[in-house]
Structure formats: structure tokens, C-alpha cells
Structure 1
Amino acid sequence: MFEHEHPLNFIDLWSKELKHEEEDEESEEETEDLISNQDFRCLCFRCDEEINWFHRYYYTCGQCDYSMHKFCAELPERLEGICDVEHTLYFLTKWLYSDWKCGICRRIHKSTGKTIKNYKDVEYPDLLHLPFPDPSYSILKHLFFKKNGPCTLEVPNDVTKTHDNISHQHSLVSSRIKSISFHDPMKRIELLCNGCLRPITTTPIYMCGNEDDHCNFVLHEWCSRLPTELKDHHDHPEHTLFLHSTVLGKFFGVFTCNICYLPCNGFVYYCKKCEYHIDVNCAFLPKEITHASHPNHLLSRNVNAPYYICKICYKYLWDEKLSYSCHICDNFHLHPKCALLIPETTTHKCDRHPMKLSYFPIENHKSEYFCEICEEEFDPELPFYHCHECMQSMHPACAPSILRYETYTSTRYDRAIYKFVNVKFGGTYNNIKVHEHPLSFVQGIESDGECLKCYYKLQFKMIFKCLNCKFAVDIDCCKYLSR
């Protein structure tokens, strides 16, 4: 704790106890009190930045005009041994996050990475350490790879019979029977699991045994071990969630997850009564994790308060229900999707080397930072992928290992998660009400032009297009025309 000659009082600006003196009135007065808290302003003695309602916690002196952010007060004045041996790092802060600045060489070092460990490994033997090593790894592999419990799929003589809720029109066979080309962006081969939508790079797997129909259904072996129902789920404890291979009533099986709010057409846990559905990755969010962007401190799953900012995508958390938060550092929060869906390394077809996730500006990098995919400048203070061999850098959303003609998103402010990371494109849709030819389910690109129904651009959308003619519509218009 930063020392001061007088005792410091701890203040929570969101506390209901902070009210005006007029407490005689009922609800109208309470609304005005909340507004007055939001309008609260003072300066932090240590960083000279404003303390306001968004920061929530701060320390103040009752005897003099002295106030400090909570995270400013609880950080040491300086750190030794992070920069060069003979240099000392002095405290420097920015809004909602803090850095260390060397007083000799003037280099700025982000405070992440030098936190003191606040837990014992023996007390958390199954703790999930994120990010995952590569795009093929998932929380389902982490949980079910070594488990020998009941399977969603029964496997007699290498031919599978699906559970009632996990249906496929053809029999599934073990990968030991049928040869397969695994996911490899460098060879332009894409193979995604129909359950978790993560790339398949190794066995064991199950796949469709019908070679005549060119069906691309394939499933990780650990995805076959998903429980058929979830009771008392932390985000929907009211009803039991049942596992389905597709959501009935959702066009072409595409739904929006009620936790990460990303579109998905993989397996789903579904409550029919509440129209509640979550993808199988979000269904198993652990209570606590660690993350390389904030090492040594546990991050706990919680229902986030408004105005928090995710430290990976730097977008507000108010659109999401859940966050992973550090209860020691009040200013560190992550979207669950940013924590789980951005791997430590990735391989992109534009670079033959694996690229690693970086949380800091690259040392000795002299030029501006530009993404090699979308060719837009980016802030190196935010996480990005970098290849030290080719000196190439990419936004995380521009560098998924799945194959797309155009992988960057339609807005320059969404650079963390590729929008369709949980969507498996492919398959055909036959309906003469919509079009006389079979339509392919693909991601729209610039050359697809406009939707022939609504006339909006098809780029960066889920679309159905004819490979024989120029017919193309987005998924909503295709659903409307098929009625």
C-alpha cells in the first residue's frame, strides 16, 4: 500500500450508502443519487488521472485533499530487475490500466507479467491455463479427452449409433477405418469438428461413413463424450439444458449463443421453454482460470458490472453476461470468448511459420504496425499475432487458422474474435421456392456484391449462393424466401 501520513478511507462509488442528504423521498431520489455518483470527479494523487464513477473504488483522506485509485494505491512505487539490471522502473498509469516506465532508458513495460502469485498449484490441480496452445485445442478436449465415462455416441464394432438428440442421417465410422486429410491451412485443407467447430488435426475422431453423398460430418472423439444434459448450469439454473446436434426451428441450424453472442451451427445445449441455447464450449466455462495476459492472478467467472473493459479486445463488457475478472486488480477483466477462442499460436495461409500472440510492442520494431491481412494500422498495446521470422503482424480476428477468402471483419473496431469462428460453412440448400439450383452455404466476400432480395452488401455475412449463376442472398433473406 502506498504510504500517506493520515489514515485512508476506502470508498465504493457504486455503494447504495453513498446518497445525498435528502433521503426522505423514495425512488425518484434514489435515481438522482445514482446520477450524482456518476458525476463524481476528483484527481488521483499518484497518477494525476481522474477518479470517477467508472473506476468504482478509491482511497481518500479525511483530513486533507488526498485521493488515489485503488489500483494505484495498492501497486508498489517501483520494481527492480524488469528492465536492464541497473535500471529501476517507476510507476506510470493510463486510464483503467497501469504500466511501468524506466527512468533511464524511458522504455515502458506493461505491468502484466510481473504480478505476485496469489494461489497454490496444489490447491487447483485442474486449473485451466489460457490461452490454449493452438486453434485445435478446446475446453472440451481439456475436460473430456482422458475421461472414460458414458458417451453421447455408442460405438459397437467401429460403427456408431447416435443418441436421440445427436442425430446424423448416416452411420459414423472410426478414423481407423477411413483415411482422412487433417486440417492444414498451408495445404488449403479445412476440417472442422461438427460439435465444437475447432479444427481437427489428429485422431481419435468419428466421421460420416457414406462416401457416395460427400458428407463432411466429422466429430472429435472427446466431443462424443459430452453429457446429454446439464443441470443447474451457472447461467441458466432454472431448467435442465439438453444436448442437441442442431436447434430445431433455426434456419440451417444457425443460432446465436446466449453467452458469447457469436453465431454458431455446432452442437448446442438448449432449453426449449426459455428459447435459451449456448454452444458446447460456453457450456463448460470454468469457475476460475489463469491467462498469460495477466499471469499469477486467478481470474474468476462473474456477472460483470457495467463499464468494464476487456483487456484483449478493449471493448466494453456491457453486451455480455459474463466476464473473467481479477479480484485483486479491479481493472482487469476478459470476455470469456476472448479468453477461450484466441489461441497462443496460430498458423495462417499467408505465413508459413506459426505466429505467436503478443501482448506488448515488438522490441526494436521501428516502423508502424500494420495488419498483413486487412492492411490497416493497429495499436501494438493490444494483443496481436506476430511472426518473428517474417516480421509480419496480424489482428487476432484476421488470423484464424480456418480458410476464408476474406477473414477480416466489417468494422475496424472489432479486431479480437473472427465473427464466424463458431460457424462451419459448407453444405447445400435445395428449395425451388428460393432458387432453381442448389445453393451453397458460404461466407460472403466482396465479389458477391449485393443480396438480390434486400440489396445490402453480402460481404462479411453468412450467405447462400448458386455456383451455376449469379444468384446470392444472405441467410435472413433465404429464410424469408423459403417460407
Structure 2
Amino acid sequence: MELSKIIPVSKPVCRLSYPDDPHSLCQRFDPPLSVCFSCKGQHLENRRYYYYCATCDLEFHRGCHLFPPEIKHPFHLLHPLTLIFSDPDFQSSRIPIDWPDSSSESDDYDSYEENPGSYEGHIVKCNYCRKNLQPEEFGMAYYHCSTCNFSLHRICAYIRPPLAIENLKCHDHTLTLFPRRVPLPCDACGFSLDTPFFDHVYSCLLCNYMVHRTCIYLPRVIKITRHPHRLSYTSSIVPSCELACGVCRNTVDVNYGSYSCTKGCRYALHSKCATNKKVWDGKDLEGVPEEEEEEILEPFLWIDEETIQHFSHDHHHLKLRQDGGSHENKFCEACTLPMTVSDRFYSCIKCEFVLHETCASLPRRKHHPVHKHPLTLFHPSSSNPHKVERKYYRDGFSTCDGCTRNCCGFIYRCSEQDCEFQLDVRCASLPDPSIHDCHPPDHPLFFNFTSGSCMGFESVACDHCEYLECIQCESFLCLHCATLPCVAHYKHDKHPLTLCCGEEETRDLKYWCEICENKLDATKWFYTCDSCRVTLHIKCLLGKEVYYMKPNHIIKINGKNVDIEYNNGNTRPVCTKCGLRCIYTLVYKCENEIFCSLSCLFQPGLPLGYHYYMTRRIMRIRETEKLEEEVEVELANQ
């Protein structure tokens, strides 16, 4: 026999070997398989190779090597387990044909999942996962010990965990495999050991300690963006300290493992919450020296009491001003909101650059609970420091991953090189917890990585946003609605408009939108003037997609320049794509064509003027039908 004919691969284990002394299998192409030890079948033409155990001198079809007729398993070491077929008419020689043709088998049980079920007749339960063994494509097959009446699902039998694990970081004694599921809490995370997913249980009988296999390897020291200090794993918290988890806000049980602040802060996290992929960056900092205090980067330098030099506009100085009326139609470069009479802002002494006073003080580096990495502030028109083209990033504006809005203002981007997460300044400035007018002030809203039905104004964008949650009443508010400006301005009203989150008691009253002149549902969110009783739809005032774009600004889309202009002409222009009048504050002009929104600008596949043609056609049909009805009424009256 030539050794070159035996090619080692990922070295699957021979299932006939002892768990503490496994044999590796090799792929063999030649000579042809004589007899498969499992199914007793001969060589198959549709199989390129088979598996061979040099120690046992046995041959297996691919697939058959996973489930031999008899095995020794750590879940039942007293007797060997025999492969049983529930269907008496099922021939074992069909196994190699019915098994998937794959050579990527491994001992990782996390990729296998079975649904509970049963089959007609006798119900057999697996002694490990305690699920009903259900029939499959190739017939009902499981491993069974007739002496002990012990059965294992074929996938559970495939799992071969170590019999003992020694991890002094987790426990002082050796942990031994506990081959059955018990409805008891894990001492490391507090979740039940009787979990529906495959997670082995290990125990220390000396200490009455039981733990999930994954919990054995929990990191000892971590750092998350929700807390300024490092957190260390502890087996229990002082009983007198009743703390709420910093992620899910539920009480942390002092009897089970959790994470607490290394500096002595009254801050704790559940083990599973702290190691959630959305919260933790995956780095165990045990033994890593703690870095010195992070250098705080000031957003600006003081020139004098009223003059600064901002990092985003370092070639000119900015001077503090308080009369917003002198800067009418000026928009803040950071939040893109217009300047008002009551605003304090910084204005460039040489150009048109302006910043709200609060926006000028935005920190350059921020730790936000919605993302696991630090965020850095910069302007979207500047070059991308990571040299990575975002999927939704185009020259001159960006898309917020928190509220899904497009904006031309400042954004916070992830500091990690391979991470493209970014937030606009409105989402990044939301505190945790937050208070909103749509919800009682004694019910704070938290970032909790959960979602539900948004109690906002029911925009399509709500389905793709991050959410705030009220833990007490289990209600949700998406960031798209949470960051709507509480005060807005309408060009035909000298008073500021306030955001109203619905008026249940005025359901019978008829409100009308000042812009579109259609009915306005007072139970939904809208803007109103308390002095003039003017009411407007949110979309009519802020725009169709409710995004923040600045007029007199140029963006690039598909290599073409797009001008953002005021819609302040004598007549409302007609959108080239949808064929409707542009009723919103801004319009987009590209190559002498006007679009009412970015969705119309991006909409592919339809010829220009198609929607306008279809709209006019439908109107003509309706007018004809109405005219015919009037003629029929007149004829009937005659």
C-alpha cells in the first residue's frame, strides 16, 4: 500500500476509539473500499474517497465514519451504545447514499440543532437533550443501551466533550462532565443548566458547583463603553448591594457570577449581558496593564473670551454671537438645524461657517452605549480616515446607523479600523437613560438592544433603527423618533413650533396641515404653534424621509454633483421621477432635473416622467368615471 494514497485532512476521530485515546482517520482514494465497517456496504462509484483508521484497520464510507454500529461515549461509559434503526425495513447499506457528501465534519456541536418532535407509535426520548427522537430522511436512527435503557440522539452521540476540564481561573478544582441536563441554575451566569441548546454541564462535587461549559471560559477582566472603568468577574456580590444590570436593567442576583467595577463603583452586569457581542469587544484584559487616563482632546482652543479655533475649521477663528436673526437661513455645520433668534452660536469671521454653542462643545471622542467601540467626531466631507468606503456613504453626506437618516453634518465614527459604525450628533448625544415627552418622566428610556412596536410617529424607518426601551412598561421608542427636534420653525409663522406627541382628548376635533392642506390625525405626532394653533405633519415640515440636509450644499451621487436648494420659488416644481409637485422645504437638482427627495433621486429602473405619466392617466380615468356618473344621475332625474 502506498502512503501517498492516504491523504490526511482535518483528522476526524474514529468513533470506535476510547474518548481519552482517540484515533485519527485519514482519507483514502486507492485501493477501493472493500467493506464499510458501519453499513457493511461495498465501494460506491459516486464517492471519491473513504475514511480509514490505521489503528483499528477499519474502513468507512463518508458519513458512516460518524456513526459506526457501536460506540463508547462519555455520556454513558458503563456500556457501549448500539446504533438502532426504528424502521425495520430500513437497510443500513443506504446510509452512505443518504448522508450529505461533505468532508467538513468537526467535533463542534454548536453547528448542529434539532427540533423537538415525535413520530407515530412509540416515542423515544434522548437521555441527554430530552427531546423526542424524530424520523429523518434516512430513517429513524439513534444509539441505545438495552441494559440500562439509555438512548442518545444521533447528534447528541456525535458530541464528544472532554471528560474533565481544569481551569484554575474559573474554579480551584477539576471540573467533571455531568452527562445529564438538570433544571438548576448555572453558578456562573444564573441561567438554567437545562437549556434548549447544546451546552454541556460540568460540576465539582466537592464544592457543589455546576456550570455551563461556555461559562468556564468567561473573561476575567473586560472593558465596555457603558462604564468608564474596567469590570472584573466575581463569583458573587456583597449581599447588601442590590444592583440593576447596566445592560438589561434587571436585578443582578448576588448568588451567581457577574461583573462589577474594579474601582468600587456601584455598577454590575450579568455575565451573559456583559459578554454580549453588541456590548463587549471580545478582549480579555486580565494581565494587561491598565492604560493611563485617556487624553481628552478638546474640540476647540480659546483665543479670547468670545473667540475660538475649532478643530473642524482650524484655518479661521469663530466668534460667539447671540443674535440668531442676523444669521437667518444659516445652518449649523454640526447638527444642520437652522439658527434661530434665541440661539447662541459661533460664526466664522471670514466665511459662512457657523456652529451652535452646544455643537461647538461636542466631545471629539465618545463612548456610547449603542456601540462597543469608542467613537470619534469628524465632518463627513473630510476624507475617510479608515480608507474604507461605506456601503451608504457618499461624498458630502452620510447615513446614521442609529436612526438611518441621511445628513450633511458632523458624525461620530467608530475608532476601530475594520468597523464602519457611525452615528450623527443627535443620536450620539442621547443620554442613557433618556427622558422623552411621549412617555411619563418617571419612566426613563434605556439603550437595551431590544426592539418592538415604536410609540413614535410610525415611520417606515422605525423598523431599521436602534431602540430605547422603558423597562417598567416594556414600550419602545426608536432613535429616528427620539431625535426629532422638539422645536422647529415654519417660514410662515413667526413663533416656534413644538412637537406634540398626540392628543387623545382631541380625537373628535379636525386638524389640518398648513402645508399639504390635508386632514391631520391629532392622536399621532405632529408640530403645532401654541399661539396661532397652526398644525403641520412632521413629514411636511421636515421632509419626506425626515433627513437633515443643508441648502446651498453640493453632494455627489454616482459621480454626479447634486445641488441642494431651497424650494422657495413662485411655483412648486414638478419632480422628474414621481411627477408630483415638490412640497418640501428642499429640492435636489441634478443635471437640470429636479427631484423632491433622495428616494426619487435613487429610484432605479423607471424612465424619467413615468410616475408623472401614470399619475395623470389615473386622474383622467377618475375624471371620466365621475363625469359618467353625473350623466347617469341626470338621465335618471329626467
In 2, the alpha carbon distance for the partners of 1:225 and 1:348 equals: 27
Partner SS for 1:289 = coil
Tell me the CA shift for residue 348 of structure 1: 2.0
Partner SS for 1:333 = strand
2:478 maps to what in 1? 335
Tell me, yes or no, if the aligned pair for 2:470 and 2:476 is still in contact at 8 Å: yes
In structure 1, which of residues 415, 422, 425 is the aligned counterpart of residue 551 of structure 2? 425
Tell me, yes or no, if the aligned pair for 1:160 and 1:171 is still in contact at 8 Å: no
Tell me the CA shift for residue 159 of structure 1: 5.4
Q: How does 1:252-401 map to 2 (within 5 A)?
A: 252-271=395-414, 272-306=417-451, 308-315=452-459, 319-330=463-474, 332-343=475-486, 345-356=487-498, 357=500, 359-361=502-504, 363=506, 368-387=510-529, 389-400=531-542
In 1, the alpha carbon distance for the partners of 2:533 and 2:468 equals: 32
Tell me the CA shift for residue 335 of structure 1: 1.7
Partner SS for 1:341 = coil
Q: Deviations over 1:415-445 (max 9, x none)?
A: xxx612x2222235799x958xxx7323679
Q: Which range moved further: 311-320 or 374-383?
A: 311-320
2:131 maps to what in 1? 24
Identity of matched residues, %: 23
In 1, the alpha carbon distance for the partners of 2:135 and 2:441 equals: 45
Tell me, yes or no, if the aligned pair for 1:230 and 1:240 is still in contact at 8 Å: yes
Partner SS for 1:270 = strand
Partner SS for 2:519 = coil
Tell me the CA shift for residue 388 of structure 1: 5.4
In 1, the alpha carbon distance for the partners of 2:479 and 2:336 equals: 17
Partner SS for 1:319 = helix
Partner SS for 2:435 = strand
- Pair 1:243 & 2:373 matched: no
1:207 maps to what in 2? 347
In 2, the alpha carbon distance for the partners of 1:384 and 1:277 equals: 28
In 1, the alpha carbon distance for the partners of 2:135 and 2:409 equals: 47
- Pair 1:229 & 2:365 matched: yes
For structure 1, which runs of at least 5 residues remain unmatched after alignment? 1-17, 30-148, 184-188, 401-406, 410-417
Q: 1:304 to 1:236 in 2, by over 3 A?
A: closer
Greater C-alpha Rg? 2
Partner SS for 2:539 = helix
In 2, the alpha carbon distance for the partners of 1:368 and 1:300 equals: 32
Partner SS for 2:445 = strand
The residue type paired with residue 156 of structure 1 is I
For structure 2, which runs of at least 5 residues remain unmatched after alignment? 1-114, 119-124, 137-295, 385-392, 605-638
Tell me the CA shift for residue 285 of structure 1: 2.2
In 2, the alpha carbon distance for the partners of 1:395 and 1:219 equals: 28
Tell me the CA shift for residue 207 of structure 1: 2.0
In 2, the alpha carbon distance for the partners of 1:443 and 1:28 equals: 67
Tell me, yes or no, if the aligned pair for 1:323 and 1:333 is still in contact at 8 Å: yes
The residue type paired with residue 196 of structure 1 is C
In 1, the alpha carbon distance for the partners of 2:426 and 2:598 equals: 24
Off by >6 Å, runs of 4+ in structure 1: 18-22, 25-29, 455-458, 473-478
Q: Deviations over 1:170-194 (max 9, x none)?
A: 4133035x986356xxxxx322211
Partner SS for 1:288 = coil
Tell me the CA shift for residue 458 of structure 1: 9.7
Tell me, yes or no, if the aligned pair for 1:358 and 1:386 is still in contact at 8 Å: no
Partner SS for 1:297 = coil
In 1, the alpha carbon distance for the partners of 2:437 and 2:539 equals: 19
